[in-house]
Structure formats: structure tokens, C-alpha cells
Amino acid sequence: MKLSEETCEACRADAPKVTDDELAIMIREIPAWSPVVRDGILQLERIYTFRNFADALAFTNRVGAIAEEAGHHPAILTEWGKVTVTWWSHKIRGLHRNDFILAARTDALFCTDPD
């Protein structure tokens, strides 16, 4: 099953972080994403580019919609022609499998952009 088709599970404070091996495997499905460490927390980040501000903001809203649906929320930085999306799991201060699922779904939003 593709990551984007998996179901997110409830993330509790004692949920397991992804292991290095799991990360190495799952990142292959979302190769445009980079693992980044910020404030000591491992996160997944990708920059999407657009033709203008309006297209960027429209994408932000689409990402917001899947976040609300999943009950899991990223940081979304909207700028002229650019949206930076960062996923991580606040409760475990790191990456859960859910983050990879949502990253894959974010990619699917971009690929299906009517533009």
C-alpha cells in the first residue's frame, strides 16, 4: 500500500518514533522531502514553488484541509511563489509514521494541481 493511502493512527505521547531504518525506507516514497532537525526535533520539510502568491496560498489551504481531516497539523510557511510545509509529531517531539503519510498526501495534492 502506498504511504498516501495509509490511515493515520492516533498519536500518543508514548507512540514510537520512526527508527532510522524505517525513515530510510519511507523517505524513498517521498524523495522531495528532507529530514531536518529544528530545536532538537526531527521534522520532514519540503518547499513547493508556484507562479505567484495566490497559487501558493491556494495550496496552503489545500494542505490545511487534509491536516484538518487527519487531525494532524503541519507548519505551513506561505510566501510569494513558495510554500514550505513541515510535518512532525508534537506529542513525541519527532517523526511518527503519520508524518510520512501526510507528507505523501501533501505531494499528492501538488501533483493533482489543475495548473
Residues of this chain that bind a copy of itself (CB under 8 A): 53-54, 57, 60-61, 64, 67-68, 73-80
Cell numbers standing for residue 89? 509529531
Distance (Å, whole) CA 53 – CA 71: 26
Shortest Cβ 100–a copy of itself spacing (Å): 19
Helix, strand and coil content of the chain, in percent to the nearest 5, comes to 45, 25, 35
AA identity, residue 11: C
* Closer residue to a copy of itself (CB): 25 or 36: 36
* Closer residue to a copy of itself (CB): 17 or 82: 82
Shortest Cβ 19–a copy of itself spacing (Å): 26
Q: Which of 5, 46, 52, 44 is nearest to 23 (CA)?
A: 44
Shortest Cβ 61–a copy of itself spacing (Å): 7
* Closer residue to a copy of itself (CB): 26 or 83: 83
Shortest Cβ 34–a copy of itself spacing (Å): 18
* Closer residue to a copy of itself (CB): 2 or 38: 38
For 4, residues 6+ apart whose C-beta sits below 8 A from its C-beta are: 101, 104, 105, 107, 108
